[in-house]
Amino acid sequence: MKDLFGKAILDYQTHNSPEDLITETSISEADEMSVAYLFRDFKEMPKLERKALQLAKGKVLDVGCGAGSHALYLQEKGFDVTAIDISENAIKACELRGLKNCKVSDVLNLDTSEKFDTILLLMNGTGIFGKMNQISKFLQKLKSLLNEGGQILIDSSDLIYMYDQDEDGAYEVPANGYYGELTFTIQYKGETEDTFDWLYLDYNTLQNAAIANGLECELILEGKHFDYLAKLSL
């Protein structure tokens, strides 16, 4: 991994001539994304993210923290927050922004001796699952990191709207896999990141997976663009 996403974050934080990220998926054309968006404050966040932060309780783990905006907001509110990301550059930026407890780590590698009351996975939190056959592995790990009475707050989107419909109204989705399984490519300053898997889940599929892994699942909020926030709990 070239860590181009993290490089863009660190460039923005250190005023090192940041440029827009170019993102492209297996079902969408190249699109520009401003790195500044990752540094948004609470008022600039989408309603789903604000709701998740308002529901946070106790000791918090922010998985895939990126530039650290969610964790910083909670830290300023007095929460005990641990933020993790697989990007070394992103974590450097988080440290420069004043995040006290952040580290480079894959959630699958966390020691389960440390438990949390709230686990956040935001900005399409299901993305890190990658593929459908990886969901149970991640949910079991997240479950093992929860205190009794703890919660996982996770968001995603139902991408069915991106597919064409036939004259009967049926969506023309791929026959050889789940329609939310995408491959993702990022470009930054002329470099291209290695293509990676990224999973968008509709709510019913997430709910079924949660139940199959011994978790309750509650729909908290739906957005305007087929996106939603869900709470998983023991």
* 51: Cβ contacts below 8 Å, ≥ 6 apart: 220, 221, 229
Instruction: Give the strand pairing for 181-188 and 191-192.
Output: antiparallel
pLDDT at residue 3 is higher than 90: yes
Provide the 10 A C-beta neighbour count for residue 205: 18
What pLDDT score does 196 carry?
97
Give the 3-state secondary structure of residue 233: strand
- pLDDT single digits (tens) 128-153: 999 999 999 999 999 999 999 999 99
- Residues 143/215, Cβ–Cβ less than 8 Å: yes
**Tokens matching residue 198:** 């990224």
**In this structure, what token pair is assigned to residue 160?**
């069915």
Token pair listed for 146: 């929860």
Q: What is the mean pLDDT of the chain?
A: 96
With a cut of 90, say whether residue 217 has pLDDT above it.
yes
Confidence check: pLDDT of 13 > 80: yes
Distances (CA, A) of 52 to 74, 136, 155, 168, 179: 11, 23, 9, 38, 26
Q: How confident is the model at residue 228 (pLDDT cuts 50, 70, 90)?
A: very high
Q: 32-86: per-residue pLDDT in tens? A: 999 999 999 999 999 999 999 999 999 999 999 999 999 999 999 999 999 999 9
pLDDT digits (tens, 9 = 90+) for 183-197: 999 999 999 999 999
Q: Which residues contact 115 (CB under 8 A, 6 or more apart)?
A: 59, 145, 146, 147, 150
pLDDT, mean of residues 25-35:
96
Quote the pLDDT of residue 98.
98
State the pLDDT at residue 169: 72
| pLDDT at residue 148, as a whole number | 97
Task: Show Cβ contacts of residue 191 under 8 Å, excluding neighbours closer than 6 positions.
Answer: 2, 4
